[in-house]
Structure 1
Amino acid sequence: MTEKLYNDAIIAEAKANHAHGRLEAPDRSVTCDNPLCGDRITIDLKLAGERIAALAQKTRGCLLTQAAASVIGQRAVGAEPAEIERAATELRRLLAGEAVAPVWPELAMFAPVKAVKSRHECVLLPFEALREALEGKLAPGG
């Protein structure tokens, strides 16, 4: 592996921790775990029609999971499910080693992770949680 797994961009994004916290009275909320490593993310959403009007994420995990959650926190507000799915698909392709220019340019920082298949789920966990939330998982008590 010629590139560092935890490159400066991943470290900086994890520290930025965009949209960290919880939303009061979210329309949708979901918690996802990676049982292999113990990473956990909770995503809260408020929706305006199909668009994400507000998003908060509370993440406990490695730098890869934290950085991916932060990118979502920065980019997902205002997006529709099709844009989120496109970003997730491009990220999966990037991790598979395909030459991809992701719709969210920040996702390119995860290119070194392609060499460590066991860490792909760390990067994808926040996208899985967001997908589940968009599919209609109700908020607690909802």
Structure 2
Amino acid sequence: MNDTLYQDEIVALARAGRALPRLEAPTVSARVDNPVCGDRITVDLTVENGAVTAVGAKVQGCALCQASIAVIADNVLGQPADTLPTVAKAVEDYLAGKGDTLPWTALSAFSPVRAAKSRWECVMLPFRAANKALAEQG
């Protein structure tokens, strides 16, 4: 395990991400795969009156992917569903060094990933799955 990337905070978040169950009756659901590293995630969302009221997932991926879905699940509840694409863009910009402002404090746990471009997609995969699910809701 790469100690630089997998600090205690990431490991704790990853445990929470692994424990996140799928939802029985989500409003939307989508699966996204990362063919480069083999990560796969299915994200389930319940959206009521435009707000996210529940998050579920099945993660077959690394600790970064697991940690990322945990941060989403901990922070998006009660937020407008259209918050997710905005947060995803902020995270992508943050990882690429294009900004230091993060909408959710817990996202700062991914600061070590900024130096590991090959791992950015691991952090972004849960956002891509959630945004895909929302886009297909149409």
TM-score, length-scaled by structure 2: 0.90
Q: CA deviation at 1:60?
A: 1.1
Q: Partner amino acid for 1:45?
A: L
Partner of 1:94: 94
Cα pair distance change 1:101/1:19, threshold 3 Å: farther
Partner of 2:24: 24
Question: 1:78 & 1:29 partners in 2: Cα distance?
Answer: 18
Question: 1:19 & 1:87 partners in 2: Cα distance?
Answer: 23
Cα pair distance change 1:127/1:105, threshold 3 Å: same
Partner of 2:41: 41
Partner of 1:73: 73
Q: Is the 8 A contact 1:28 1:137 kept in 2?
A: yes
Is the helix fraction higher in 1 or 2?
A: 2
Q: CA deviation at 1:135?
A: 1.1
TM-score, length-scaled by structure 1: 0.87
Q: Is the 8 A contact 2:47 2:53 kept in 1?
A: yes
Task: Give CA deviations for 1:94-140 in whole Å, capped at 9, x if unaligned.
Answer: 101234131111111111111111111000000000101111259xx
Residue 29 of structure 2 aligns to a residue whose secondary structure is strand
- The gaps in structure 2 that reach 5 residues or longer are none
Cα pair distance change 1:102/1:120, threshold 3 Å: same
Residue 9 of structure 2 aligns to a residue whose secondary structure is helix
- The gaps in structure 1 that reach 5 residues or longer are none
Question: 1:93 & 1:45 partners in 2: Cα distance?
Answer: 24
Q: Partner amino acid for 1:68?
A: S
Aligned-pair RMSD on alpha carbons? 1.9
Partner of 1:8: 8
Partner of 2:112: 112
Residue 21 of structure 1 aligns to a residue whose secondary structure is coil
Q: Report sequence identity in percent.
A: 42
Question: 2:120 & 2:6 partners in 1: Cα distance?
Answer: 13
Q: Is the 8 A contact 2:17 2:68 kept in 1?
A: no
Q: Partner amino acid for 1:51?
A: A
Question: 1:84 & 1:28 partners in 2: Cα distance?
Answer: 14
Task: Give CA deviations for 1:4-31 in whole Å, capped at 9, x if unaligned.
Answer: 1111111111112277111112211111
Q: Is the 8 A contact 1:97 1:114 kept in 2?
A: yes
Cα pair distance change 1:27/1:81, threshold 3 Å: closer
